[in-house]
Amino acid sequence: MTATLAELEARVAALEAEHADYRAVLTAGNALSQQTLERLDQLNEKIDRTAARHDAEFDALDAKFVGLNGRMRSIEESFAEVRGLLVRALDNK
C-alpha cells in the first residue's frame, strides 16, 4: 500500500498542525505558570510585611507587659511594706 505524495503531504500537514496545537498549549501553560509565580511572589511579600508588622506589634505588647509586671511588683512591695507597718502598729498597742 503506497501512499501518494498528496496523502503524505496531508499527513505531514496534520502532524504539523497537531504539534502547533501542543505548542500553543505549552505556551499557554508557561504563561499561566509565570503568572502564578508572580502572584506567589506578591503573596510572599505581603506575608513578609504582615509578619514584620505583627512582630513589631508583639514586641510593643511585650514591652508593655514587662512594664506592667514591674509596676505590679512595685505595688506588691508597697502593699507588703504598708501591711508590715500596720502589723507593727497594731502589735504596739
> What pLDDT, on the 0 to 100 scale, is given for residue 14?
86
pLDDT digits (tens, 9 = 90+) for 12-25: 888 888 888 888 88
Distance in angstroms (rounded) separating the CA atoms of residues 83 and 69: 21
Assign 92 to helix, strand or coil: coil
How much of the chain exceeds pLDDT 70, in percent?
99
Model pTM score = 0.53
Task: Please tell me what DSSP assigns to residue 1.
Answer: -
Residue 92 CA to residue 72 CA, distance in Å, equals: 30
